[in-house]
Amino acid sequence: MMMSGSNKEMHVAGVVVRCTAGRLLEVLQNLSDYPEVEVHQTQPASSLLVATVETSGLQEQVDATKALLDIPGVMDVDLVYHAFDSAPCLEEVCAS
């Protein structure tokens, strides 16, 4: 869970990343440089991967998702899910 400073939100996006044929492993290696990204599934035959992007604000979410397009071998990033929650709700969950 990523929450920093006075920004008390948590944004989670689910994305499908389409890679250039044969470059999925290279993309996966480069994703290790993005701590806010967690890969959940890969489909090597289609050069696709499913990941979540967790950030502490909306602009950070947009920037992190757009940054994936700059990774060599990434052709497209499709946003398939986005949710956010604020600190009071998160504190209740953490307290229970």
pLDDT tens, residue by residue, 32-58: 999 999 999 999 999 999 999 999 999
Sign of the torsion angle spanned by Cα atoms 32, 47, 49, 61:
positive
Joined tokens for residue 53:
């992007």
Task: Kindly list the structural domains of the chain, giving each domain's residue range(s) and its CATH number in brackets, ordered by start.
Answer: 9-95 (3.30.70.920)
Give the residue from 39, 54, 51, 47 showing the smallest Cα distance to 1.
Answer: 54
Digits of tens for pLDDT over the chain (96 positions)? Answer: 444 444 578 999 999 999 999 999 999 999 999 999 999 999 999 999 999 999 999 999 999 999 999 999 999 999 999 998 886 555 555 565
d(CA 34, CA 70): 12
What's the pLDDT at 87? 62
d(CA 13, CA 56): 12
61 exposed, middle or buried (CB, 10 Å; 0-12, 13-18, 19+)?
buried
What's the pLDDT at 70? 96
What's the pLDDT at 1? 40
What does pTM read for this prediction? 0.80
